[in-house]
Amino acid sequence: MLRDHFRPQSFNGIDDIVIVGGGLAGLFCALKLSPRPVTILAAAPIGHGASSAWAQGGIAAAMSPGDTFEKHVADTLTAGAGIVDEKMTRMMVAEGPARIHDLLEYGVPFDRDLEGKLILSREAAHSERRIVRVKGDMAGKAIMEALITAVRNTPSIRVIEGYVVEELVREGRFISGVIARPDAGQSKKRVSFPARAVVLCSGGIGHLYAVTTNPWEACGQGLGMAARAGAIIADPEFVQFHPTAINIGKDPAPLATEALRGDGAHLVNSAGHRFMLDIHPDGELAPRDIVSRGVFAEVQAGRGAFLDCTKAVGKHFPDMFPTVYASCIGAGIDPVTQAIPAVPAVHYHMGGVLTDAEGRTSIDGLWAAGEVTSTGVHGANRLASNSLLEAVVFAARIAENIKGTLPTPQLTQWGDNAGENDDPVTVEDSPQLTVLRGLMSECVGVVRTRESLLRAIRQISALERDNARMRFTNILTTAKLIAVGALRRTESRGGHYRADCPSEQPEWRRRTYLTLAEANRVAAEVAETETA
């Protein structure tokens, strides 16, 4: 569907700025670019299919009287397991409070006390209460609703929904536009959108895995497109598993927010044993990768893992955490009196398209923000609630950079029937994607080994040989980059755990950078070793 009630006078042209994605980063960037004309291309109606809308915890910002920027930076560095870009993190943390006030001006109803002050909560690995929330676990939904209203009321922003971007167009060293498929990707026709500036805000990679908290749109297509266009990808091996997805067989898996453990909920196995105290002194509030492996071990051993909130939250559950409560009740579980079955699920990707402090990628004309990027602020393991903060901080910086780089808008024309028009069978429901998701969970999941990663790379290569669809090519490209990155990092650090290399190694205390050409070389070498 084309939302054409914005600036109908330019209906036959497209603005020189195209934003790919209708999540938090994309909408915030468009608002910050106002009154400059911008077009947002979204695969689904904005707010739908965006992981931002599903975020339960909130946004981290050092705003309480006892908190400081230094403390927030220190917590981020600790969680990131030694490879956080400290300079980028300091910048993000320092600009956080200003972006919170921006969101308030856009109408986000953050929780306040009776005096009108923001209520700040604590989450795992934070030393202070600094999480700005909405009704306990509804921050993402409320933020997106407020931004959608603001976008719809901003005449300079045109939203084109139901257009699945499949390809970045590169001319020389510049990205010169995108090619998208209308009708939610089902049209046999593709449309080209020329642009002087493309901002990639396409989201994460969670749906590459069989168990995830992410919507199906988060298949890594944006990362794959950027890699195919030649962009440098940073830290692809670092995938964060949320330790407490609700284990009720749903896809995506509902999430039991980190805030429950922040408020005192305990993890126990079927025998009632609080197993995390055997693993880490912080117990349930240890970094996510450690808690995820603890939960994974209990599930694999057949003992199961359960989040017991009966004492910490109890009868207040419906009011304090309505989203989690509704998910549990819908599955026949009353979290007021019963423990919630838990399982690790892919939640966030620390890796992504490499960007600088202004959101610029390694290709001129292409900026990126949100989960599709790797800015360096998350390191090997994202600190809870830093992701929404990163999205708004870098989206705002991109807007300022584009205004300075391209001060005068120039309109160009659309072009129909761009590139090849393959038969648009829905990739998202295909048997090949089901196979890939199972492969990624089994071989590139919570626990990895050299043998499992070699098997993943070989099978991804086999899927590539049998594939002729552009969207699935993007998805397979991302899966290959993650698997190759994990194979090359011969240690365990943060969200990347190798059972055959279980310790951190000093020589790997650094970020990694990978191009598709390099990943293809590794995949070819892996294939040769199998046939040798």
Cα–Cα distance between 65 and 175 in angstroms, integer? Answer: 45
| Beta strand 233-234 pairing with 352-354 | antiparallel
The Cβ of residue 458 has, within 10 Å, a number of other Cβ atoms equal to: 16
- Between the alpha carbon of residue 192 and those of residues 2, 413, 418, the distances in Å are 15, 9, 6
Nearest to 458 by CA among 445, 476, 475: 476
Identify the burial level of 467 via C-beta atoms within 10 angstroms of its C-beta, where 0-12 means exposed, 13-18 middle and 19 or more buried.
middle
Per the CB < 8 A criterion, the answer to whether 479 and 488 are in contact is no
- Between the alpha carbon of residue 355 and those of residues 106, 233, 398, 512, the distances in Å are 27, 9, 10, 13
Cα–Cα distance between 36 and 30 in angstroms, integer? Answer: 9
Backbone φ, ψ for residue 32 (5° rounding)? -70, -25
What sections of 229-342 are H helices per DSSP? 258-262, 288-300, 317-320, 322-330
Residue 93 tokens read as 């943390």
Identify the burial level of 165 via C-beta atoms within 10 angstroms of its C-beta, where 0-12 means exposed, 13-18 middle and 19 or more buried.
buried
Nearest to 198 by CA among 15, 434, 455: 15
Per residue in 134-144, is it b (16+ CB within 10 Å) or e — as a string?
Answer: bbbbbbbbbbb
What sections of 207-246 are H helices per DSSP? 221-228
Question: Sign of the C-alpha dihedral, residues 252, 350, 20, 389?
Answer: positive
Q: What DSSP state is assigned to residue 34?
A: T
Helix (H) or strand (E) holding 176: strand 174-181
With tokens 């005192």, the residue in question is 264
Catalytic residue among 130, 133, 190, 288: 288
Per the CB < 8 A criterion, the answer to whether 120 and 129 are in contact is yes
288 is catalytic: yes
- Strands of 59-60's sheet, edge to edge? 59-60, 131-132, 120-121
Cα–Cα distance between 180 and 42 in angstroms, integer? Answer: 10
Residue 174 tokens read as 């510049």
Residue 140 tokens read as 């993402």
Question: Sign of the C-alpha dihedral, residues 170, 171, 173, 176?
Answer: negative
What residues act catalytically?
A: 288
